[in-house]
Amino acid sequence: MFEFVSREIPRDKLLAADKEDLVEFIRLQQEITEQFKKECRRLRAINAELEQQKLLLGDKFVLIKNKLYGKSSERAPKQDQGSDNGDSSQSNKTKKVRVLLPSQRYPDAPLIERRVEFETAPNCKCCGTQMQDSGLTENSEFVTVVPQQYLVIRQMRQKVRCIKCHGDIQTAPAPERIKEGSSYSDEMMVDVAMTKYCDLIPVERYTSIAERAGMADLPPHSLIESTHYLADFVQGAYNGLKEEITRAKVLHADETPHRMLEGDKKSTWYLWGFSTPKTSYYECRNTRSGQVASDLLMNASCEYLVSDVFSGYGKAVKDCNEQRRAQKRSDISHVYCNAHARRKFKEAGESFPSDSEFFIDKYRIIYHLEASAKEKPPDQIQEIRDKMRLEFQSIRQNCIDQFSSFSQKSSLARAMSYFVENFEGLTRFLENPELPIDNNPQERLMRSPVIGRKTWYGTHSKQGAKTNAILFSLVESCKLNKINPREYFKKLVKDIHEGKSSFTPKIYADSKIN
The mean pLDDT value for 499-510 works out to 95
Question: How many C-beta neighbours within 10 Å does residue 324 have?
Answer: 15
pLDDT in tens, 432-449: 999 999 999 999 999 999
Q: Is the pLDDT of residue 177 over 70?
A: yes
Lowest mean pLDDT among 21-30, 287-296, 491-500: 21-30
Question: Rounded to an integer, what distance in angstroms lies between the CA atom of residue 57 and that of residue 200?
Answer: 37
What confidence tier does 362 reach under pLDDT thresholds 50, 70, 90?
Answer: very high
pLDDT of residue 512: 75
pTM as predicted: 0.80
pLDDT of residue 70: 61
Q: Is the pLDDT of residue 339 over 80?
A: yes
pLDDT of residue 375: 83
The mean pLDDT value for 38-50 works out to 82
User: Which residue in 242, 189, 237 sits closest to 474, CA to CA?
Assistant: 237
- The β-bridge relationship of strands 268-275 and 280-285 is antiparallel
Question: Rounded to an integer, what distance in angstroms lies between the CA atom of residue 242 and that of residue 186?
Answer: 25
What confidence tier does 322 reach under pLDDT thresholds 50, 70, 90?
Answer: very high
The mean pLDDT value for 304-313 works out to 95
What confidence tier does 146 reach under pLDDT thresholds 50, 70, 90?
Answer: confident
The mean pLDDT value for 109-113 works out to 87
Percent of the chain topping pLDDT 90? 63
Q: Is the pLDDT of residue 84 over 60?
A: no
Question: Rounded to an integer, what distance in angstroms lies between the CA atom of residue 203 and that of residue 478?
Answer: 21
Q: Is the pLDDT of residue 89 over 60?
A: no
What confidence tier does 147 reach under pLDDT thresholds 50, 70, 90?
Answer: confident
Alpha helical stretches, state H, 183-290:
186-197, 203-212, 220-233, 235-246
- Is-contact 234 470, C-beta < 8 A? yes
